[in-house]
Amino acid sequence: MIMKTAEYAKLPVVIPPYLEPNADYDYGVNFASGGAGILSSTNQGLVIDLKTQLEYFDKVRLSWIEKFGEAETENIISDAVYFISMGSNDYMGGYLGNPKMQHLHPPEEFVKMVIGNLSQGIQELYGRGARKFAFLSLCPLGCLPALRALNPKGHEAGCFEDASALASAHNNALKMGLLPDLQALLKGFKYSNPNFYDWLLDKINHPTDHGKRTNHPSTCFL
């Protein structure tokens, strides 16, 4: 997804990861970490969580100030687009794969926790000068092969609806609550929120319309 976005914006196709040695960040930097979540507790110790990613952003900002000066760095940060695609791991491993978390928090409460932490991260970025954001909605998690196979009704029964319900609740909280609230609160805050959920669900439910011959649970449509 990041590569497609970069290609569309006529940027280098591969935006360098932050931890790449001697990387050139003049056209952007990728802080993503496989398995990371919005909550620090998600896959803790195995990934680079959102809080740490923000700390890395601060280090890049300081390197830009040294290279371009403070005024130009402020322009770079305010003109940049911040693509945020996180949350799936919080619900997959952090909640559905964590019986203790399920016992402590009902689904709606857990969604509020995730959205609350995301809100804090966005506002921290805004405080550093970020103004333009893109938030990809979560996909129907229960239709992913790994979770579909965990469907208590059997993998042939279809998508694991409890998992997809979490993704849907997250997307609604983002679209109907957090993002418009932040836009009203933060001057100059702009965002896009592509509906990845419905896009992927349509491919799963109507595979032949998209050049596929099957919607077998072992198949991942991307």
Residue 154 — very low, low, confident or very high, per pLDDT cuts 50/70/90?
low
Residues 86 and 136: their CA atoms lie apart, in Å, by 8
Please report whether residue 16 resides in a domain: no
* 17 domain-assigned: no
Query: What average pLDDT score do residues 12-27 get?
Result: 85
Question: Alpha helices, DSSP H only, in the chain?
Answer: 2-8, 50-68, 70-79, 88-91, 99-104, 107-127, 145-148, 161-173, 179-185, 196-205
For the CA atoms of the chain, what is the radius of gyration?
19
Q: What are phi and psi of 194, to 5 degrees?
A: -60, 140
Mean pLDDT of the chain: 88
Which domain does 173 fall in, by range? 31-210
In a domain, 14, yes or no: no
pLDDT at 156: 63
- Give the mean pLDDT of 203-214: 72
- Within a 13 Å sphere around the CA of 183, how many CA atoms are in the beta-carbon half? 14
- Give the count of beta carbons closer than 10 Å to the beta carbon of residue 91: 29
Above 60 in pLDDT, residue 155? no
In sequence order, the β-bridge partners of residue 192 are 134
pLDDT band at 37 (very low <50, low <70, confident <90, very high): very high
In a domain, 23, yes or no: no
pLDDT at 207 over 60: yes
Residue pointed to by tokens 């001057």: 187
Average pLDDT over residues 39-58: 94
Mean pLDDT of 135-149: 89
Question: 112 versus 3: which is more confidently predicted?
Answer: 112
Domain-embedded: residue 205 = yes
- Predicted pLDDT at 220: 45
In a domain, 4, yes or no: no
Cα separation values, 199 from 14, 102, 207, 210, Å: 24, 29, 12, 11
Number of domains forming the structure of the chain = 1
Residue 24 located in a structural domain:
no
How much is the pLDDT for 199?
A: 87
Q: Is residue 158 classed exposed, middle or buried when 0-12, 13-18 and 19+ CB atoms within 10 A define those classes?
A: middle
In the prediction, which pLDDT does 111 show? 98
pTM reported for the whole predicted model: 0.86
Query: Cα–Cα distance between 114 and 109 in angstroms, integer?
Result: 9
In a domain, 7, yes or no: no
